[in-house]
């Protein structure tokens, strides 16, 4: 019986307010229709953008483009690593190159009138290399080559040779 009373009460409320209820339901459906249309328009726009994105400039899809770019990035990274190794090797080789050069012309014998004798120092970054000396005399010319390690030679050096080595070490050329 209680359920019947409840149903009867609802029927009476519905009959008295049926116009208002129908208006509210219609407005609710209208709002839902507008929300649905707007959502579909946004979804359609998003789908168009997605399809455009998935097609590359040459008709490729985004996945292919990304894979291609990843491979190119790996290739470039590998090339950069190779270049770094080559530069390190060149830097090491560069230390062995002759960079410090100094020379001096002089008169080895007081009875000779010109400076035809000379000493030439050729050193690398580690102050290793050679000193070449040419002693010019009236009847002969002698050439000497002496090794230099860490700015010193194991051979006896003339004052001119020592001067040339000191100038080369300080990088002051004539």
DSSP output for 58-113: TS--HHHHHHHHHHHHHHHHHHHHHHHHHHHHHHHHHHHS--EEEEEEE-SSTT--
User: Taking the alpha carbons of 9, 11, 17, 21 in that order, is the dihedral positive or negative?
Assistant: positive
Residue 60's pLDDT is 66
Q: Centre a 10 Å sphere on the Cβ of residue 165 and count the other Cβ atoms it contains.
A: 24
Taking residues 5-26, report their average pLDDT. Answer: 86
What is the average pLDDT score of the chain?
88
- Please state, in angstroms and rounded to a whole number, the distance separating the CA atoms of residues 44 and 42: 5
Residue 173's pLDDT is 45
Per-position b or e across 115-149, b if 16+ CB within 10 A of its CB: ebbbbbbbbeeebbbebbbebbeeeeeeeeebebe
Taking residues 113-139, report their average pLDDT. Answer: 90
Model's pTM, two decimal places?
0.53
Q: When comparing pLDDT for 62 and 84, which is higher? A: 84
As a whole-number percent, the residues of the chain with pLDDT over 90 amount to 55
Residue 75's pLDDT is 93
- Please state, in angstroms and rounded to a whole number, the distance separating the CA atoms of residues 104 and 50: 78
Instruction: Tell me the pLDDT tens digit for each residue of 29-53.
Output: 999 999 999 999 999 999 988 877 7
Instruction: Tell me the pLDDT tens digit for each residue of 143-174.
Output: 999 999 999 999 999 999 999 999 999 974 44
Residue 56's pLDDT is 58
Residue 38's pLDDT is 96
Please provide the DSSP assignment of 91-103 as one string: HHHHHHS--EEEE
Q: Is the pLDDT confidence value at 102 over 70?
A: yes
As a whole-number percent, the residues of the chain with pLDDT over 70 amount to 93
Residue 20's pLDDT is 87
Full strand arrangement of the beta sheet holding 100-106: 100-106, 117-123, 129-136, 141-148
Identify the weakest region by mean pLDDT among 15-19, 68-72, 84-88, 112-116.
112-116
Q: Centre a 10 Å sphere on the Cβ of residue 164 and count the other Cβ atoms it contains.
A: 26
Q: Is 43 exposed, middle or buried (0-12, 13-18, 19+ CB in 10 A)?
A: exposed
């Amino acid at each position: 019986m209680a359920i019947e009373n409840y149903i009867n009460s609802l029927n009476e409320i519905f009959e008295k307010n049926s116009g208002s209820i129908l208006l509210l339901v219609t407005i609710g459906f209208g709002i839902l229709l507008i929300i649905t249309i707007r959502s579909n328009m946004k979804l359609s726009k998003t789908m168009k953008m997605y399809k455009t994105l998935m097609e590359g400039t040459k008709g490729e899809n985004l996945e292919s483009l990304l894979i291609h770019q990843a491979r190119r990035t790996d290739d470039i990274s590998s090339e950069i690593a190779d270049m770094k190794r080559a530069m390190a090797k060149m830097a090491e080789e560069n230390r062995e190159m002759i960079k410090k050069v100094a020379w001096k012309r002089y008169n080895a014998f007081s009875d000779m009138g010109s400076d035809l004798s000379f000493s030439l120092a050729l050193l690398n970054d580690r102050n290793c290399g050679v000193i070449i000396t040419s002693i010019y005399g009236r009847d002969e010319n002698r050439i000497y080559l002496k090794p230099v390690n860490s700015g010193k030679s194991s051979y006896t050096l003339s004052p001119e040779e020592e001067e040339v080595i000191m100038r080369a070490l300080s990088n002051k050329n004539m």
